[in-house]
Structure 1
Amino acid sequence: MQDEATVSATDIARLAGVGRAAVSNWRRRHPDFPQPVGGTPISPVFALPEVESWLRDQGKLRELPVEEWAWQQLRAEAGDDLQLGGVLARAGEALVRDHSGGTVSTSPAVPTPSAVPSPSAVPSPSTVQSSPAATAANRSGAAEAVADLAAEWGASPAFEFLLGRYWEAQGRRASATPPELAALMAALAGDAETVLDPACGTGELLVAAAERGSARRLLGQDADSETAALATVRLALRYGTAAGTSIGTTVRTGDSLRADALPGVTADAVLCDPPFHVRTWGHEELTADPRWEYGLPPRLEPELAWVQHALAHVAPGGRAVVLMPAVAAGRRSGRRIRAQLLRSGALRAVIALSALQHVWVLRRPEGGTPTTLLMIDDADRETIVATWEAYRDDPDHDRPGVSRAVPIIDLLDEDVDLTPGPHLSVTGSERTAERFLETHERLTALLARLGGLLPAVRPSADRGESPSVLVAELARIGHLTIHQAPSRRDSDEGGADGLPLLTVEDVIEGRPASARMSPSDGRWIATRAGDVVIAATAHRFAARVVEADGALLGPQLSLLRIDPERLDPYFLAGVLGSSANARTSTVQTTGTAGRVDIRRARAPRLPIEEQRRYGVAFRRMAEFESALRATVSLGEQMAHLLADGTADGTLVPAPGEVPAAWPVI
């Protein structure tokens, strides 16, 4: 273990409130910049005390935020990033003890089969697994720093922030299920009281399932002991006794295929993003395993072992949603198992998210055998979920080019290829030419408008920085009020009768509310024209002015309700979207969106008249962005229509369209 903390170039940029490129520039321009003490030539690390001293001498050191201090203490105690998981888990276990009345029990990492004969044997919500090291009387400096962060932010948000930093530090060594994908898989599983993930990692799929609001028991298992410990802490802080809820959370350690820690347990839903890269999954010793109800998985196809393991844990009528490599849909070695899954009615949908990634939706057969399989070739979450939900009442579903209920008899050929694309209906061509001309006219008109939408601005003669004020100060003096949306939707999805709901994606893309919901209580905030709404994700930060009353403020969004006599909304939204504010007011977590602490953002102090001048420029820029997005969308539509029209013979090049000889480039 190192005697002092180390920091990466990214960490230095956070300390100074600049971009990483600025740190690279300092290293080139300043001979006295601290030398690396470890890492690699591409990703060096530096001694934190030396970096702090240099930044202080250069006048570039900001006061170290509590979250950065906690993170640096964790890294210092770990010594290197390979040990971070264990250090973070131990600090998290201390948080669980603090918030659960001190009740922490230690249990075997992998119980024997007789130890878990039924769901009733699964530990109660009050049971939190802990390593002996975490029960030491004296806390480490890292645990104390994490406790300080938890006191300021709350235990679960603090741990989520540090877990997000942990995944950043792992880089290519490990990865978590992306939150958008986890949310999609949870939605396909539907409402379930007991949810199991047999390869749970740090619990991304279990968290996504719990966020739907129906879960009462979360069960997980993972082969990596540190990862399982992180999942245990994460679930305990979010949903267990430490969070004051009644959701039972249990995570076991062990390889689910070789040493199933929950052999007698069935769940309403099984969600799984398995480690397909592990080819030594136990083929030889598991040849007679009773889980292979649909056939012995080929040695080089562990994905078909995971599918059958998931089905073995699903209660009759329950669902399993498994992330699959696309090649599993067509490999000849797996065709017999695919055929059995189809004949039995166990496989209900195959969804192609990309050329590399599919999602299979399965169920434990109960009653009659279905005659069709739903196939979807689309990456849009709302389209996928809506299609899956409508399929139950529309067995003849067919949306050309996107999705289709394919007769199972048509799939049971020599190959049993379940790749969706070849089985979808071709888009109808009766209006291709007409739609192409309509799109052409709209795109031409939009391109003519673009130049006129650009704001008229010029370089300032005075390059000095303007005095600025924190949003927290603007709230204190009454120029605005700050509102936060509820963190989750504890309400019914509204369907066509629900109220419009702004999402993070709506704000990022500058579009109207795209979701709907029926609020179950008065916590939900109705937006008003002139409000400023702020959203953040791992890659974007945006502030937009609400143009019309009525939409509800969705989860993970912040809202500023301003006094228009003192602040111009378009000016405020514009400056809040600056790169500096994105860095200072967005805290990344492992959830779908970043946590926005908008109180830390700043705005220049300007008279209201000057704010309004800037506001006009920002408003025109927002209109330009919207028109540009529409241009790209229309361009993509025209490209598809041109391809369709050429293929079906309804479009031909106009005279003179093709030159006699292509120019030499």
Structure 2
Amino acid sequence: MARGTEADEAADAYERHLAARERDRRRAQGSFYTPAELVGWVLDRALPTTGTVLDPACGTGHFLVAAARRLGVRAVHGSDLDIDAVRIARQRLHELDPSVPMATIAQQVVVADGLVAWEGRTFDAVVGNPPFLGQLRRRSAGQSEEHRRGLGAYTDTSAVFLRRALDLVVPGGVVALVQPISVLAARDAGPVRTAVAERGAVTDFWCTDRPVFDGTPVLTCVPVVRAGATPATDPDSWGALAAPGFGIPAVTLPGDTGTVGDLATCTADFRDQYYGLAPFVRDGLPGGTPLVTTGLIDPAESRWGSAPTRFARQQYDAPSVDLAALRADGALAGWATARLVPKLLVAGQGRVIEAVADEAGAWLPSVPVVSVVPHNRADLWPLLAVLLAPPVVAHAATRYLGTGLTPGSVKVSARQLAALPLPADGGAWDEGARLAEAAQRADATARTAYLGELAGVMTAAYGLPADHETAQWWRGRQQRPPGA
């Protein structure tokens, strides 16, 4: 049956009303309505030939109506906190099959919190597009708190729905809920990924590198989970499911060669250092200590003094710390001493892992720059070669996909940097270290050539051919976009 009933038109009008008149409320509730093409993709993979289906956050009923056209109105169930949306969803289902009494539909589609509304019930499929909303701004409380236990403070509500759906599906049934792409690697979504691995397996996957929901830039994905299936994907490696859609090449790295953490201490600073430094930062202070922000770090290059940057909401041409005044103040004196040692500084995120060596130990890092301090000073350049190695970058881009602020950006924490594997080919690694040092000491033109050569050498150091697609991918991404 084609769309075009009065209730369908009411649904369209209601969503236009939300978009035009209540965009702020819509954002506050985390509600964004699903394109028909995506609804079809989900139902093609989730619906049984016969059986029941639940959308626990059904809105105006896009998933319910599409499912009812395949299974019948009596097979679909839904819930939502939006009274007007539920009313429209019920009317659409009644117009689809007037033989089903409205009273029956009202029992199937209810105004309720979908996290608690279906206690004791199970369905053959649980589908939908639950609200995207961090737990600190949650849309419901009370009983639903039970379903948030064991999750981090920033676990998105959509991921809470995903974990809850595992309790609402029969053995062998399917869960397919739209999720923000951060579910792939976000730390606070870890317990949800683990729950999926314990209860079933991701058997199909959809993602996009562009926003598809009107009114939000959030990138989304749909893991299709079959309850009882044997997991084929490590719950900490969901990023591999989406990597092809972002053009990230697949790599397998050695697992028994040691890690960056064996050779160095990786440390991130926090708000105390960020705000504590602010009173002591000057622009171009003679004799001052350079403050290196994440935007000033490129592969084997610090742009301090040659490019403007922002710190503490102010723009600087050459931000410098009055070290004498900072030490006299005392609060950050110990911190500054610990940071003013030979180290690598790693940008908070970038198109690749962006790292530069502070050979003299003369720079201070600005949050969220990560400091990598080698246990042995001789490992400074070898460690820089590791962080610039294309296979390592592809590995990090895949494993932590979705945690950055921009699509496909590589964001790696101090803990994650410490876990990055070392290369197996020591000879190639030595050559990579030589090239990393040469690149940092070179001018811009020569640096590009050295980095291009380093890409092939360090790809080989990880057991891949020097001309592997990973090396070319890295060369393309490490180039700074024009005007950046």
Length-normalised TM-score, structure 1:
0.31
Greater RCO structure (CA 8 Å; 6+ sep): 2
Length-normalised TM-score, structure 2:
0.42
Larger radius of gyration: 1
